Amino acid sequence: MTTSALRRQVKNIVHNYSEAEIKVREATSNDPWGPSSSLMSEIADLTFNVVAFAEVMGMVWKRLNDSGKNWRHVYKALTLLDYLLKTGSERVAQQCRENAFTIQTLRDFQYVDRDGRDQGSNVREKARQLVCLLRDEDRLRQERSQALKTKERMAGGGTGGSGGVYGGIPPSYHPGRRTSQPSMAVLYGEEFSRSRGSPSSFNSSASSPRAASDLEQARPQTSGEEELQLQLALAMSREESQKSAMLDLVDIFGPSSGSQPPRGDPWPSAQPSCNSTSNPWDSVAVQSSTPVIGSP
């Protein structure tokens, strides 16, 4: 186990991250290789669970707002977001459009490493691709259709599928419970260099009929109930993020008079220009609701 992986596990325990949050942290780590397709597939399945969706997206937005030296966090979060847009819940695209400015800002991301290499170019290009994809609903719909067919075909062949029917509540997910994660070796596309270590396999355990019955009963029965659960989950996620930010401030500056944590953006906030006319993306204001910035 590498030092970074050990440090990540310690943080997972200290911050009591849920299973969904741990999976996202693993997929967007600082390791010099990309997230495995099997891990991203598991995360995509979790987005169909109302509670897990809020946890997954909350951690993704945190990674996207990370500092320049952690450019891999940002780049891998964009890579994961691209995968979720194509194979996850349709709510992923909806939330991305609501937080469009966060992704647009990354088109100006800057970071040059010690060797003088512009690592920010990878982030800028990936952000540009995502913005274009979100603007073109027809293209997104077509790519989702192709990606879902590919995923179902791979799951049917028994090549590391999630072990459940696509679009349902993942049977192995238990909110708030920490689990061990597979190592990151299989590349998503050709966007990262090959791992120097050998990949380890990950087999998800089959759930018992009783557990499956309990999860079926927990599934929202109506769209109104599902929306209510989503709002409650988002509220809980925001509350936990605010508490975490306040604790970080107390650790750094000591007890204060209850001042709010800073919410600055680490990158230039210049509004990017758009070529198309009457585009709803052009009207995104700086005051739009963006996720809380915090280092996990």
**Helix/strand/coil for 192:** coil
Rounded to the nearest angstrom, the gap between the alpha carbon of residue 254 and the centroid of all alpha carbons in its chain is 32
Which stretches within the chain are classed as H helix?
A: 3-14, 19-27, 37-46, 50-64, 71-87, 90-98, 100-105, 120-135, 137-156, 209-218, 223-253
User: Cα angle vertex 80, ends 75, 84, to 5°?
Assistant: 145
Rounded to the nearest angstrom, the gap between the alpha carbon of residue 151 and the centroid of all alpha carbons in its chain is 19
Rounded to the nearest angstrom, the gap between the alpha carbon of residue 62 and the centroid of all alpha carbons in its chain is 8
d(CA 43, CA 199): 19
* Whether pLDDT at 201 is above 80: no
- For all residues of the chain together, what is the average pLDDT? 72
Tell me, yes or no, whether 81 lies in a domain. yes
Tell me, yes or no, whether 140 lies in a domain. yes
Taking Cα atoms as reference points, which of 21, 50, 30, 204 lies closest to residue 111?
Answer: 30
d(CA 43, CA 121): 26
d(CA 75, CA 55): 19
**Helix/strand/coil for 112:** strand
Q: What are the tens digits of pLDDT across the range 183-194?
A: 333 334 444 443
* Average of per-residue pLDDT across 63-73: 92
* Average of per-residue pLDDT across 235-262: 61
What pLDDT sits at residue 22?
Answer: 94
Q: What are the tens digits of pLDDT across the range 113-155?
A: 899 999 999 999 999 999 999 999 999 999 999 999 988 888 7
What pLDDT sits at residue 169?
Answer: 44
* Average of per-residue pLDDT across 238-251: 68
- Give the tokens for residue 269: 């906030």
What pLDDT sits at residue 13?
Answer: 84
d(CA 63, CA 31): 14
* Cβ-based neighbours of 17, under 8 Å, separated by 6 or more: 11, 25, 59, 178, 296
What pLDDT sits at residue 206?
Answer: 37
Q: Record the pTM.
A: 0.56
Tell me, yes or no, whether 233 lies in a domain. yes
Residue with the larger pLDDT of the pair 295 and 43: 43
Tell me, yes or no, whether 58 lies in a domain. yes
What is the full DSSP assignment across 221-252?
Answer: SSHHHHHHHHHHHHHHHHHHHHHHHHHHHHHH
* Whether pLDDT at 101 is above 60: yes
**Structural domain harbouring 13:** 3-161+222-283
* Whether pLDDT at 19 is above 80: yes
| DSSP type of residue 280 | G
Looking up residue 261, the CATH number of its domain turns out to be 1.25.40.90
What is the radius of gyration, based on Cα positions, of the chain? 19
Taking Cα atoms as reference points, which of 18, 10, 31, 112 lies closest to residue 57?
Answer: 18
Could you give the number of structural domains in the chain?
1
What pLDDT sits at residue 176?
Answer: 54
Tell me which H or E stretch contains 117.
none
Contact 112, 140 (CB under 8 A): no
Contact 232, 224 (CB under 8 A): no
Tell me, yes or no, whether 122 lies in a domain. yes
d(CA 62, CA 66): 7
